[in-house]
Structure 1
Amino acid sequence: MKFSASSSAWGAIAAALLAVFSVHAFSQTPRIDKEVPGNAVTAKGGLEQFTRVLIRELNSIGFEVTRGYPHLWTMEDCDLTFAVTLNCYANNPASPYVLAAVQPWPEEFVDPATTNVYGKTRPGYSSTYRLDPREAIVIFGRMPPPGKYMGLQSYVFSHEWVVPEGDSVHRSGYPWITDALQGGRDRFKDSNMVHYLFSTLARHEGRVQSFSSVSNSINNVVMDGDDAGASFGEIRYFVVTPDQAMDSGVRSALQRLGVSKDHVFTEQIARHFVRPGEPPGGKLGPLGLDRHAPDFLTGLRYAMPDSQQAANAWRSRLPLTVLRVRESPFSPRPAQPFFEIAADVRDAVDEGFLSDDLDALVNAVRDRAVGGPWNLAVLEAPTMGQAPIMGNVEVWLGHFGPYCRDIGENCLGDGQDASYFFMPPQPLDSGQVYAVIGTLGIRTGNATYNGLSINDASRLKGVGNVPDRSSRSSDSVLDGSASSYRGAVANHDQFFVHFFTRDCDTISGLADGACTSITHKMVPPAIDVTAPGHPHLHGFFTAGLRSYVMPGTARGPTTTYTRDPETGALRYQRGQLPPVVLAFKPRVQ
């Protein structure tokens, strides 16, 4: 049922609730026979009043409740994050994240090393939390206004790890399990990226950063069901829990207050999160509140709004409530864990038929750059394996939450809602020019939206984004950027071409406006010894191509590869064609 009641209707219900409270002096939990209006948050005090009623309902069935709050993690907050983690996790620069800040339970270990790790929080609150086996994080409120994407997902932030004594890989400064360098996970071994993929938490030699997924995300496609777009701007409820009884108890409380079960979504934190047809990764846990237990974070991401003004207004208010709910620690009830949850199957429109066109476009871009008045020479391009391509993070690095936890790898916030192609760090300060060339998912049927990100390699920080389309004519966009090559390439509208360099004016005419200048503010020059970040990566950038949510599915597209039995090299089989990177440098006069 789609909520449509007016604010006045909610006001009447709120008044009735207050009357009940005054008569019974809070000695009984009120019952509401009608559905709570979906736009209740528009009424003065509506969301707050409902929150109080819900807390009293949860208390009445023996649950302890504390209140948290939502807060933004923005690009600017990378300064605080990097101080703790030496990593900004290639944050998506297209939009900030909304994180749940919670209060710790009285007996919960609070790690001082994680203070303000995802932006400054109020005293007594934290963006990361350990998880009682019988608790739930409950988040509800008005969803953001219409856009291309929103989704909620939880992650393991860090967990204990025993570094084997005498491990030669560990001693050499590389990952602490030799097997981590096998099976394609060594692709970035010599690209200055390994310290982002394998790292301990500040001041904890035996605790590794993980940022690894624990379940399928709950995105707008999941929330909408058969009614696309129905959840934007409406009230929705989320229960994040490892315990079946907590899930049932919270859901029952919501339904007794008139909330439709179709508007409540549970993120099950199961012992095993597995891909269909594959053996499970390591068991999650053991859960608990002590210093040895893994800690978690939960966030909501909202991107590509229809109206930036409306999106900014929503973010400035964040009309969401965060509750932390648990069974009384004195209750004898044993936990009822979720044993296993399967990752949703992912698919893709096969782009293999565009392979020859991609080759032709790459050749056309190379020929124009070298043969024109820009005096450019071809450089050796960044490679993944033997080809000058961007690597699929999921395939080439094995980024899937349980598998990262198996080997102590940092999954960098992996998820199932997008494919992510990534370029190893490349230098900028000697006049280099880079062209990224690839298929455009919104045209091939593999994406609801695309974004090409620019990242400061010295902090792995997202500093800019090239969207697929824009409402502003002045913006550089991906859609249509290959049109000037129409004479040389069939199906040119299925592709994009975008250039990166320090100053796009130096290649004016070559890029036809499809160029991003990477300023010193975005990526500090190599000679800047005072800039934050890893000094050896100053002056280096990376690019990442995201394709979010394949139309007709709830998940991002995928790509399958085969492995050469003799060389071990990965070869494209079907799905998205990997983008190609060309590198140029001014000729020596």
Structure 2
Amino acid sequence: MDRKILRLLALFFFLVPLMTSCEGSSDSDEPNTATLVLNDVAKDTTVEWQNTADGPLLDVAQFMKGVGGRFLPVNMNTGIIAQYGKRIGFASNGYAYGMVQVQLCPMEPACMEDRGRLWAPLGFLAQVLDGEIEMDEEKRSVVVSAPVPLEVGDIVPESKGVAAALQKIGYTVQQGDICLSNAVEICSAGYSPNANGNNAGFPYLCIQAPLPPDAKHAILPVQFAYSLREDEGLVIIGKTPPPCDYYSYRSYFLNLCLSGSNPFERQKIYTQFGDPINSYNIQDDILYPSPGGSKVQPFESFFVLVSTPDRQLYDDVLAAVGEAGLDPNKVLLDIVDPNLIHLGNDDFADMINFLHRFSNPEDKGAGNAYVNRPTLEILRLTPNTPRAADFLAPFAPRERGSGQTEDYLMPAVDALRQAIISHYSGKYTIRELPTYIWLGKTGSEAINALEDVLGETRDTLYLNSGLFEFGKETVVVVYGVNHTAASKSVYNNVSCYGAKYFNGFGGITNDMYNATAAERFPNLSDVENIEKLYIWQFARKALDDQTFVVHQDVNRDLKGIDYDDEAFMAFRNYIDPGCPDRIGPDPDEIIFDRVMVLEPR
């Protein structure tokens, strides 16, 4: 009897843990699946989630399919690309920030790969949709509130007819967008090795191109970088900006794949494929299909721009524009030089970027409205049947020079130099730095040298100073000719840069420092042409209302320069108005800006 009881007890203690274990295993193996509810409508879609210490993550592929968007992994599952209408977001696994419409998006928690699938936080996906997402674990539902995605024609109605005409003749047409970007934020988030020597305080707009229609993954996470098959192209349709000092459009060679076996081994080059279309040359015959015909007006005027290496695609766009009832002579051409780049959509293709500069609008409100929602639509064109391209011949480079120099201003510059030394030498030691031509290489020169030229444009003459350590008490004095007042540029400015990441601060323009030399030194009033000279200061605290304050990088986001870090000054001079080719000034025709570094005695 005792033995039977012992056997029963032993069996009981064996079975209870086993039953409990089996029951628990059933619960833990059941995936965390939720019903997707989009704008109060339950979709026939389930989305898996998993919890982390920092919050839930959703299966990106399932979610984007459920909301009617597009998802692709980055090569080797190292990140994610998500598109909803025109809106495109990207993020690398483990990064603190992704980007949506090229604006920073906190990744809380960071996206990751698990079991061969990619997972992203709710906040990132909500930004891609421009909506809101709530997770209800008890009800097992993902509740999404989002606007209907924008389609072709919603921003520029004419683009709908052009797209339809292109589809009729055998093209797949996909929409992208053009977005305000911030080079410092892109760098600090880890998506660029530097801040491109950003023109501080001035907007850059760049195209976010959709991935090729047959792509299985993205080559790189950043969608302001794109590849093109030799028979593909991008089309911009819309209106030129509101009146401003300067704008331009140009495709760029962004980075070069260095390896035949490792697609991530790349060198950033960031050089233009040729001279830009700008607000001063936009009516030049060479840019149009029919010289002498109607032209695009510089401001707030309808245009179509084709960016491609392929003549057939260009001709097809001209025909489609006509088919849509529009004027083919409003079509401009941006040639992607096939001699400079390895075209294709394979993992080893070189990458392209398209940049739209826009500076100093006459009406600040109109300018802000334009950069926040440009009156432009972006189309990617892919022939349904691949073909060999009929390559376009690139335009000849434009020539600098007007024959007019600033030499007559040298006596005034020398007088200003002596006045500055006399004013500051009692309290400070003074070191005068040399000034050089900066970013002088372009196109094949930069590519062959494997040199990163930071998105330069020949519409500008760039100058920079030698390096200095920007200490706590350092004062930097910049001075020289206001080249706009001297009729050698349409606008010019000065900024201070961190030497390691080329992150810039200041953007002090000719309008801001106009006639400041005469104002600062009234004793120079009898010096001829002193009103065409300027002076400005960069320091750690405001010395007066003509000082730009450079703060420390307290948040580690590259929005400052730490004490004693190396720095340099740089100067931009856009478009010599006297130059027949309407391009940046000839360096032999201007007096280089000057720099003094002051330290307390």
Q: Could you tell me the TM-score, scaled by structure 2's length? A: 0.67
Alignment pair present for 1:87 and 2:101: no
Counterparts of residues 398-477 of structure 1 (less than 5 Å): 398-469=440-511, 477=512
Distance 2:217 2:411 in 1: 56
| Identity across the alignment (%) | 21
Structure 1 unpaired stretches of 5+ = 1-43, 117-125, 164-202, 272-282, 383-387, 470-476, 561-573
1:88-167 maps to which residues of 2 (within 5 A)? Answer: 88-108=195-215, 110-111=217-218, 114-116=220-222, 126-161=223-258
Tell me, yes or no, if the aligned pair for 1:458 and 1:538 is still in contact at 8 Å.
no
Give, in angstroms, the shift of residue 255 of structure 1. 2.4
Q: Quick one: structure 1 residues 78 and 127, their matched pair in 2 at CA, closer, same or farther if it must change by over 3 Å? A: closer
For 1:534 and 1:93, how far apart are their aligned partners in 2? 12
Tell me, yes or no, if structure 1 residue 255 matches structure 2 residue 322.
Answer: yes
TM-score for the superposition, normalised by structure 1: 0.68
Distance 1:538 1:243 in 2: 51
Q: Which moved more, 1:46-55 or 1:88-97?
A: 46-55
Q: Aligned match of 2:398 in 319, 328, 344? A: 344
- 1:541 equivalent to 2:596? Answer no
Q: 2:597 aligned with 1:583, yes or no?
A: yes
Q: Counterpart of 2:376?
A: 320
Match of 1:169 in 2: none
* Cα offset, 1:153, TM superposition: 0.8
Deviation at 1:263, TM superposition (A): 2.1
For 1:491, the aligned partner's letter is N
In structure 1, how many angstroms separate the alpha carbons of the residues matched to 2:499 and 2:203?
Answer: 19
Which is strand-richer, 1 or 2? 2
Q: Structure 2: which 5+ residue stretches go unaligned?
A: 1-151, 286-293
Give 1:376's aligned amino acid. Y
Indicate conservation of the 8 Å contact 1:94/1:304, yes or no. Answer: no
Displacement of 1:212 after TM fit? Answer: 0.9
* Cα-Cα RMSD: 2.9
Match of 2:163 in 1: 55
Residue 73 (structure 1) aligned to one of 181, 203, 215: 181
Whole-Å Cα distance in 1 between the matches of residues 217 and 271 of structure 2? 20
Aligned residues: 436
Report the equivalent of 2:422. 367
What CA deviation, in whole Å up to 9, does each residue of 1:322-374 have, x standing for no partner?
A: 0001222x34x421112343111111431123233322221221121114xxx
CA distance in 1, matches of 2:411, 2:218: 54
Whole-Å Cα distance in 2 between the matches of residues 466 and 48 of structure 1?
Answer: 35
Classify 1:146/1:228 alpha carbon distance in 2 versus 1 (closer, same or farther; 3 Å): farther
User: In the aligned structure 1, how far is the partner of 2:233 from the partner of 2:422?
Assistant: 58
Aligned mates of 1:515, 1:142 — CA distance in 2: 38
Distance (whole Å) between structure 1 residues aligned to residue 485 and residue 165 of structure 2: 49
Residue 500 of structure 1 corresponds to 538
CA distance in 2, matches of 1:537, 1:255: 60
CA distance in structure 2 between the aligned counterparts of 1:437 and 1:366, rounded to whole angstroms = 12
Match of 1:215 among 255, 268, 274: 274
Offset at 1:502? Answer: 1.0
Whole-angstrom CA distance in 2 between matches of 1:550 and 1:291: 41
Deviation at 1:151, TM superposition (A): 0.7
For 1:530 and 1:132, the matched residues in 2 are separated by: 39
* Preserved CA contact (<8 Å) 2:575 2:585: no
Question: 1: distance between equivalents of 2:312 and 2:336?
Answer: 13
- Which of 431, 436, 439 is matched with 1:391 structurally? 436
Per chain length, whose mean CA-contact separation is higher, i.e. which structure has more relative contact order (CA < 8 Å, sep 6+)?
A: 1
Moved over 6 A (4+): 226-229, 533-538
State the AA in 1 paired with 2:418: N
Deviation at 1:303, TM superposition (A): 0.7
- Of the three residues 531, 543, 546, the one matched with 1:514 is 546
Offset of residue 224 of structure 1? 4.4
Assess if the C-alpha contact under 8 Å between 2:254 and 2:351 holds in 1. yes
**Structure number with larger C-alpha Rg:** 2
Letter in 1 for 2:449: I
